[in-house]
Amino acid sequence: MPLDITDSDGLARLALALNERYRRLDILVGNAGVAGPLRHLACRAEGLERGHGGECDANWQLIRCLDALLRQASGRRAVFVTSASARKAPAYRGPYAASKAALEALARSYAAETANTPVRVNVFDPGRSARACARW
């Protein structure tokens, strides 16, 4: 299903379509990240907002729209992809680091909210191997 992850109405339609077809969601994978130095993104009004706020909001919308379907599955797993940048905040990766830190906080909160349910929430850092593969 073609979908812009920042389209909250589209995510709601996705949840309805998944419910009609499958009645469950086995796994939810959330991700966020926008790259570039802060000074360049500051020239575009949507730069940091889309990277930090927009993508964090998209993952919150994924949880909001798909949580009920996730609870219907036997696997019940939500995995959020992070990076060491969330903690190190390296130069020229401010928006990316901010979006990853926000995503981690969102995932920790979701994990706490589902602690007494069968839903399991994990944060996964693929590490250097993913970056090395991306360069090929």
Of 47, 64, 46, 51, the C-alpha closest to 106 is 64
Q: Both tokens of residue 35?
A: 């790259």
Active site positions, annotated? 96
CA distance 112 to 125: 19
- Could you give the C-alpha distances from 43 to 36, 37, 82, in angstroms and in order? 12, 11, 26
Cβ-contact 79, 110 below 8 angstroms: no
Residue at token pair 């991306």? 134
